[in-house]
Amino acid sequence: MLFLSQFTGKFEQEHFDAIWYLLNNQSLEAENYFQYNFVFEGDEQIVDYLGKFETLQNDFDEICKRISIPHQQLPHENRTQHPDYRDLYCSETKDLVQSKFRKDIELLGYSF
């Protein structure tokens, strides 16, 4: 989601309120808003492997194995403590995100 890049630092409830506003007031018809367009054609996955930030080290380990390079530990800098993002959505924002990004959520295996 391109508009998320404008938020830096600690996520607070007001950030999610701003996301709700943007989702309601910004056209999401452009193809680059939806992640599935980068990894699927129709329902067919067009990449060899799909790693996720949430499991970055494990997925990187798998990629190293697949391309036959030595395992490397990725650094984790600027670590922060924050609540699970799902806890910051109000029910209205959660419903809006689930509606607008339903295909991303389903095809990429995410859930609320």
Per-residue pLDDT tens for 36-78?
A: 888 888 878 898 898 988 899 999 999 999 999 999 999 988 8
CB 21 within 8 A of CB 97: no
pLDDT of residue 31: 54
Query: Is 83 a member of any domain?
Result: no
pLDDT of residue 63: 95
Domain residue limits at 45: 7-76+91-107
Of 21-25, 26-30, 59-63, the poorest mean pLDDT is in: 26-30
Query: Is 16 a member of any domain?
Result: yes
pLDDT of 12 over the 70 cut: no
Query: Is 82 a member of any domain?
Result: no
CB 66 within 8 A of CB 49: yes
Query: Is 64 a member of any domain?
Result: yes
| Residue burial 24-51, b: 16+ Cβ < 10 Å; e: rest | eeeeeeeeebbbbeeebeeeeeeeeeee
pLDDT of residue 68: 96
Q: Mean pLDDT, the chain, as a whole number?
A: 77
Query: Is 1 a member of any domain?
Result: no
pTM (predicted TM-score): 0.61
**Considering its fold, how many domains does the chain have in total?**
1
CB 63 within 8 A of CB 49: yes
Query: Is 67 a member of any domain?
Result: yes
Query: Is 33 a member of any domain?
Result: yes
Query: Is 36 a member of any domain?
Result: yes
Overall average pLDDT of the 24-41 stretch: 70
pLDDT of 2 over the 50 cut: no
